[in-house]
A and B are shown apart, each in its own frame.
Chain A
Amino acid sequence: MTALETTNLSTRSDPSSPWWHIDPTPALAAVGLGLVGLIAIFSATRGRDEENYVTFFIERQGMFLVVGVATLFFIIFFDYRWLLSVVHIVYMGTIGLLVAVLLIGVEANGAKSWFAFGTFRMQPSEFAKIGLIVALAALMSRRTDGPMTFYELGFAIGLALLPIALVVRQPDVGTAMVFLAITASMLLVGRAEAHHLIFLVAVSAVALGLLINSPLLEDYQKDRLESFIDPTATQASYNQQQAQIAIGNGGMTGTGFGEGTQTKAGLVPEQQTDFIFTVVGEEFGFAGGTVVLTLFGLLMWRLYRIARLAGDSFGGYLVTGVLAMIGFQMFQSIGMTMGIMPVTGIPLPFVSYGGSSALTSFIGVGLAISVHMRRFGAGIDAEVGQPVR
């Protein structure tokens, strides 16, 4: 009993305090992935000059990680339910940024996806993922009784389609696919009716078919999709081929840090970002790949658990969205390097080089931890002015 009494003395020992319920595991997994990413990025970007390695990329990425962790820490102080009061601003802001990037953004790799601030670049479509998750979660948690009506479903889809359309306009089909995955997962977990969902799947399949054959897609995008269907054809399939050889070259224990011949020879493109997993696979082998997959597995498992245990449906949907976002990006990015997904430029969360992506992922995890901390919700609802559900 004395032990219980001593714990009662601090905030941390108060069972009603959110801090009593903190789950640090997802944050630790995310940081672990970030560190693996730092090593892989350094290997991919340090260059051939042994006297004078390029450190620009890891310095930047290290900074992004620090900022990311700090943001995460900052977020967990806040109650996620506060977002419900600003959801309109969040959504409008998201759309505003996506429109603005089309107007004043800078182009790279054929897509107008970035704002440039001096040497820094910001990719609004990354943050828009969080915006979409928040908006959909808020919409779907507005009513708790009965299944979603057709109208509600249509509204949710409309809410999702607007940013998707803007991202496709950049054009950045990869990110648009993440948006789709988020929306689909949230609708699946939400109260949408099964026959509505089946109908949706059918409609989107037809839409995808039309999209591939429409002039909306750039040639290189079609090439990538075609090469996934017919892998003997083009440049994209060549990249993918080389990526797979790189991973296979790693074998059980890998070639060792900086020794990956496939990646060092530049046979794999974009290896510090979208194809980062080839560096891990080649240089650290099956062992290294397993570590990355295990960390992701840990993260997914905790996110799933948080979604299950969430104190309200808003939190549950929120974490479901984050789970879908990180899960889909992981599967797409790693699967692409191993030839089981088409080549689309999607970064591997926490691991790939890139500030916007890292920050977005950390925000997602931060929101999840915040949901978990406040799952019992005592006394907080009044604070944010929401009725208790």
Chain B
Amino acid sequence: MNDQSPFRLAMLGMLVLGLFASLFARLWYLQVVTEAEAQAQAEANLLRTVFVPAPRGRVLDRTGNVLIDNRLVNEVTLNRFALTEALPRESQRKQFAIKLAREVSAAGYLIKAADVEAAITDQKYGLFDEVPIATDVPERFSILIGEREDEFPGVGVRKTTVRFYPYGNLAAHLLGYVGPVFAEDLDLLEGHPKLYRATDEIGRSGVERGLEEVLRGTPGIEVIEVDAAGNPVQTVSATEPTPGNDVQLTLDINLQALAERELAEGIRFARTQREQGINSSGVAEELDFFKAPGGAMVLLDPDGARILAMASYPTYDQRIYLQERIPQRQIDLLNDPASGAPLLNRATNGSYAPGSTFKLITAYAALDSGMLGDRGFLGRSQYLVDNGIWRVPGECFGAGCSIENAGQKPLGDVDLAEAIAQSSNIYFGQLGFQFNVRQGFQARQLIRIANDFGFGEGTDAIPGALAGAVPEPANAGGAANLAVGQGDMIATPLQMANAYAAIANGGKLYSPMLAERTLDAATGEELLAFPERLRHELYMPDEFYNPMITGLAGVVASEKGTAFSAFEDFPLNRFQILGKTGTVENRPKQDNAAFAAFGPWPNPQYAAIVYIEQAGLGGDSAAPVVASVFRQIADGNIATVPTEAEADDLISVAEAEEEERLRTQQEADREERLAAAAAGVDGQSFEVLVPGEESDTADSEDPDTADSDDADTADSGSEPAGDNSNLPVAPPATVPTATPTPTAVAPDEAAPDPDATEQP
């Protein structure tokens, strides 16, 4: 008889039964529970969806100069599937990463093995996607890879487009940059008709972001059936990519260059000036130099509030965002307040008090509400005694309880026009105070007019622009403070410029516009013209308008005017400027300087603001910048900015001429020396080289003011491969006022601006 233990055999039977149960359960799970998932994957396995990227549209200025272009470059990619097929072991892939990094770096694009490994494991890309490793590698690299296919499995080189800025970092803040789509944005873009994917680029700031909808093209989709090895069998369906549309801006690149240059010049000049103060014994004394860490300039066309130029200082080089991986160090530097936070667009996102430039709004509010009128505080042309200092009556605590003029200067009897021209804080402070306390008036009326002028309201021309705030004053002192543009009010230079554009055009407040029209990229045909957007039309009868205009004219033209000195030599007779200074208290820091203006009166075509942080009086620091810009506009003397490529040509022409000059001089020197030697005079041989040395030092320029160069802050250590490190400095610094003849582009223009030296 069988001597096997039935119990033991039953154990084996139970085990087999258990195995059956698990197989059966697993089969059920795979084929019934997760069937749909597997079927989707099986389908995906056979069909590869290839996205054919569409080029982004270009950005043009208002005369058609291309500001952002596309450039065709070689991109090294890696096919993970092919790589893992060829190199199944992790250690092999490590070796491969080192080898590839070495090859790519040798070709001129510096990457690390860790970057390659990161790309291999990047979760954004699917198993069959081509993962980009390096862009902009030279042509010879693709030849090399083609020759050594076995050594670099899965590595390919393809053509791709990257953004290209013909004018370098001009208008960097305004134009912005593109970057990868963030994961959180991708959720929002789900179902977008332009098919965003995690590997796509999207406009991250400036025009690139604001006009993303226009600029982005629609990628083509090819659905390809493949076999197990990934080889295409047939194309199932294909749609062509549709390129993005071009955008024409209201911006004028020549005016932009002018604004950036003059702003930088003005800031540099401000740093050479000392703050004036009064010491405890009442004696005037000189304090520290102005720090002037940054500033902004906005130039608008009052007709429609078109942005003609918008400069923010310090600026940066948006080309650092072209790098595959941006070093954190660079990003930190761009946001570092110590370096002036170059990434901040001060024109749209600087949060400043408008200072005395706000007095015009107070004036209009007073006229409109009747505060200046028969039943108000003063008659429209009634005078008020300005003693230079005025205290809010009654109990008052906090800011604004004591209003004083700059330097506590008594201005005597002032009416509205005089108060504007001489910037009487006493006059406007009392108006503000009256809004708060007078029967039938409210501080809210002042706020509402400020809102009508665009303060406290956002703009959509510039994405992410600050809306600012006009908070309700807490007490009478606060109201007085608000009336002179101080206190808690927050405004951006763009808002200030826009308010003055509204005054310039007789009371029409437009929403600032930057995009003029969209164009078909291929044909250049206009597709869509963006309309002007009138936000408010202010009631502006002559009896309101005239005293304001008279006052503004007086600021510039009257000897008592706060900006008189800046416009002393200005051809006001043929290009009349109306403006208003602002000196904004900014304790504990130094005062901010502002100057808002428009011209030529009576048909203003330009409204401008210059706002410089910590630079003292608006009439001393800001007004000269506006004067200098307007002078060049008035003279029709706006330099045509060369693109970087053109500038390079000009520089090489200039260098060739310089070399020629040196060579002839050296020859002359040699002859002279020979002649001297012949005459028995010795010891001059050391000085022969001096002219050459001189030009060398002039080339490398301003060692002590290096940080004030507008390109420098972003530039230091920011160039990706150090390839064209001389470029960012070239265009703004090397293009002086004259037309770009080679001689005008001589690299050494260290002499101070003549406008600056005019200042008392």
CA A379 – CA B726 in complex, angstroms?
Answer: 108
Contact with A along B199-236 (1 / 0, CB 8 A): 00000000000000000000000000011110000000
Which residues of B (380-413) have their CB < 8 Å from a CB of A? Answer: none
CA A313 – CA B6 in complex, angstroms?
Answer: 11
CA A238 – CA B83 in complex, angstroms?
Answer: 14
Residues of B close to A246: CB separation below 8 A: 38, 42
A261 interfacial by beta-carbon distance below 8 Å: yes
B35 interfacial by beta-carbon distance below 8 Å: yes
Residues of B close to A250: CB separation below 8 A: 31
Which residues of A (319-364) have their CB < 8 Å from a CB of B? Answer: 320, 323-324, 327, 330-331, 334-335, 338-340
Known: A266-B228, A267-B228. A245 touches B41 (CB 8 A): yes
B4 interfacial by beta-carbon distance below 8 Å: yes
Contact with B along A254-276 (1 / 0, CB 8 A): 00000001100111000000000
Contact with A along B1-26 (1 / 0, CB 8 A): 11111101101110010011011101
Establish whether residues B1 and A191, one from each chain, have CB atoms under 8 Å apart when the complex forms.
Answer: no
Q: Is the interface of B mostly helix, strand, loop or mixed?
A: helix
Establish whether residues A300 and B16, one from each chain, have CB atoms under 8 Å apart when the complex forms.
Answer: yes
Residues of B close to A244: CB separation below 8 A: 30, 38
Which residues of B (81-96) have their CB < 8 Å from a CB of A? Answer: 84-85, 88-90
Establish whether residues A313 and B4, one from each chain, have CB atoms under 8 Å apart when the complex forms.
Answer: yes
Residues of B close to A234: CB separation below 8 A: 84, 88
Establish whether residues B24 and A293, one from each chain, have CB atoms under 8 Å apart when the complex forms.
Answer: yes
B322 interfacial by beta-carbon distance below 8 Å: no
Known: A248-B34, A262-B42. A311 touches B1 (CB 8 A): yes
CA A296 – CA B45 in complex, angstroms?
Answer: 32
Partner of A316 from the list B2, B19, B20, B32 (CB cut-off 8 Å) is: B2
CA A245 – CA B43 in complex, angstroms?
Answer: 10
- Chain B CB within 10 Å, residue with most, of A245, A250, A296, A316: A245
A172 interfacial by beta-carbon distance below 8 Å: no
B27 interfacial by beta-carbon distance below 8 Å: yes
Known: A293-B20, A312-B2. A335 touches B26 (CB 8 A): yes
CA A68 – CA B228 in complex, angstroms?
Answer: 35
Partner of A324 from the list B12, B22, B23, B226 (CB cut-off 8 Å) is: B12
Q: Is the interface of A mostly helix, strand, loop or mixed?
A: helix
Establish whether residues B228 and A247, one from each chain, have CB atoms under 8 Å apart when the complex forms.
Answer: no
Establish whether residues A247 and B30, one from each chain, have CB atoms under 8 Å apart when the complex forms.
Answer: yes
Residues of B close to A223: CB separation below 8 A: 88-89
Known: A267-B228, A313-B3, A334-B23. A245 touches B45 (CB 8 A): yes
Establish whether residues B30 and A248, one from each chain, have CB atoms under 8 Å apart when the complex forms.
Answer: yes
Chain B nearest CB, measured from A44 CB (Å): 13
Establish whether residues B4 and A316, one from each chain, have CB atoms under 8 Å apart when the complex forms.
Answer: yes
Residues of B close to A141: CB separation below 8 A: 3
Chain B nearest CB, measured from A257 CB (Å): 17
Establish whether residues B16 and A323, one from each chain, have CB atoms under 8 Å apart when the complex forms.
Answer: yes
B39 interfacial by beta-carbon distance below 8 Å: yes
Residues of A close to B181: CB separation below 8 A: none
CA A265 – CA B84 in complex, angstroms?
Answer: 19
B28 interfacial by beta-carbon distance below 8 Å: yes
Establish whether residues A320 and B45, one from each chain, have CB atoms under 8 Å apart when the complex forms.
Answer: no
* Beyond A248-B35, A310-B2, 14 extra complex contacts between A and B, CB < 8 Å: A190-B4, A223-B89, A247-B31, A249-B42, A252-B31, A261-B42, A261-B43, A286-B32, A300-B20, A304-B16, A310-B4, A320-B12, A327-B19, A335-B22
A contact set with B: CB distance below 8 Å: 141, 144, 185, 188-191, 219-220, 223, 233-235, 238, 242, 244-252, 261-262, 265-267, 281, 285-286, 289-290, 293, 296-297, 300, 304, 307-313, 315-317, 320, 323-324, 327, 330-331, 334-335, 338-340, 389
18 contacts between A and B (CB under 8 A): A185-B12, A189-B9, A190-B4, A219-B89, A223-B88, A238-B84, A245-B41, A246-B42, A251-B39, A265-B228, A267-B45, A290-B24, A293-B27, A308-B2, A316-B2, A335-B19, A338-B27, A340-B26
B contact set with A: CB distance below 8 Å: 1-6, 8-9, 11-13, 16, 19-20, 22-24, 26-28, 30-32, 34-35, 37-39, 41-43, 45-46, 84-85, 88-90, 226-229
**9 shortest A-B CB distances, which residue pairs?**
A248-B38, A266-B228, A249-B42, A286-B31, A316-B4, A251-B35, A331-B19, A313-B3, A338-B26
